[in-house]
Structure 1
Amino acid sequence: MLISCMARNAEDPSYSRCGKDVRRNCVIDGDTLRVQGIVIRIADIDTPEISRPGCTEEKRLGEQATARLIELLKAGRFGLIAWKRRDEDRYGRKLRVLMRDGRSLGSILISEGLARPWTGKRQPWCSFTPRTTNGPSEAS
């Protein structure tokens, strides 16, 4: 199933951040949006969380992914392709791949380091590397 969507031009305000008064064509986070009021989960990617991030780096990347998705949506016509595995996720969001000119918009976010391919399971975005408190060691 292919549904075509269009933003008129880069200045078109039809896609912005979802909020109290914006709920028809808007972006919830880097991998979730509303198209004509229907909640769409971008099925081929996973982006960092912004509502409950595990660390400040995840929140920062999630905000960047959200802003970049808005830019990509405003850039022109895109299609919604039904996910090959199932129609909805457990939250009732429609699972779709966003396509423009034969390329997944999700793959653009992946190439920019703002998303990773969806593997069927959430992976952590925070790396917890133990820090030493002694500082660098001196060469002897």
Structure 2
Amino acid sequence: MELQKNDHSLRPEVRYRVKKIIVAIAVSGCALGAHIFGVVPVAGAASVVISPERTYRKCFGGDRFACVVDGDTLWIEGAKIRIADIDAPEISEPKCATELALGNRATDRLIELVNQGSFKLRAWPGRDEDKYGRKLRVLIRDGRSLGDILVSEGLARTWTGRRQPWC
């Protein structure tokens, strides 16, 4: 007995066209959903605008969507970001009490800065990630780096390519 081809199947060119339409609808739906919920891509983007719809706080426990780790590291939309143009004192493993105190002040100030409104997240030229897998980005508001604000207030240093002691 010979197998018969299903007469109800679509011609190959029609199937291809239908697949393209379905993919286009899916992509459009994802883009619309991202726009509605304020999700902004972080990886690989040259510059994106972040409009915080949540209040950034110090990272605690498992919440790593929108929080500040320390004076130069934060989580934005679920991506771990290292502010690439500065170095702030450590608070997780400080070398002395002075570094811890200054690191806590830098952390608190960064929380204030990111909660003051929208800012741009700009890629760091030449490198996308550091050795810990953090995205290297510069945070900019009104043409000024938020890192520069921390530097001008004595809470961070301009990044020179290596860490300097805080003690």
Does TM, scored on the shorter chain, surpass 0.5? Answer: yes
Match of 1:35, as an amino acid?
I
| 2:49 is the alignment partner of 1:4 | yes
CA distance in structure 1 between the partners assigned to 2:163 and 2:74 by the alignment: 18
Q: What whole-Å deviation, never above 9, does each CA across 1:29-52 have from its counterpart, x for those lacking one?
A: 000000011000000000000000
CA distance in structure 2 between the partners assigned to 1:62 and 1:85 by the alignment: 27
| 2:91 is the alignment partner of 1:46 | no
| Secondary structure of 1:68 counterpart | helix
Over aligned residues, Cα RMSD in angstroms? 0.9
CA distance in structure 2 between the partners assigned to 1:79 and 1:73 by the alignment: 11
Report how many aligned residue pairs link the two structures: 122
CA distance in structure 1 between the partners assigned to 2:92 and 2:163 by the alignment: 15
Aligned residue in 2 for 1:77 = 118
Q: 1:105 aligns with which of 127, 146, 150?
A: 146
CA distance in structure 1 between the partners assigned to 2:106 and 2:95 by the alignment: 16
Match of 1:2, as an amino acid?
S
CA distance in structure 2 between the partners assigned to 1:104 and 1:35 by the alignment: 16
| Secondary structure of 1:95 counterpart | strand
TM-score of the superposition, structure 2-length normalised?
Answer: 0.71
> After TM superposition, which residue ranges in structure 1, 4 or more long, deviate above 6 angstroms?
none
Aligned residue in 2 for 1:129 = none
1:54-93 correspondence runs (5 A): 54-93=95-134
| 2:63 is the alignment partner of 1:22 | yes
- Ranked by relative contact order (alpha carbons within 8 Å, sequence separation 6 or more), the top structure is 1
Match of 1:107, as an amino acid?
D
Max radius of gyration: which structure?
2
CA distance in structure 1 between the partners assigned to 2:48 and 2:57 by the alignment: 20
Point out the structure with the larger helix share.
2
| Secondary structure of 1:86 counterpart | coil
Match of 2:123, as an amino acid?
A
Structure 1 residue 21 displacement after superposition: 4.1
| Secondary structure of 1:61 counterpart | helix
Aligned residue in 2 for 1:132 = none
Gaps of 5+ in 2: 1-45
Gaps of 5+ in 1: 127-140
TM-score of the superposition, structure 1-length normalised?
Answer: 0.85
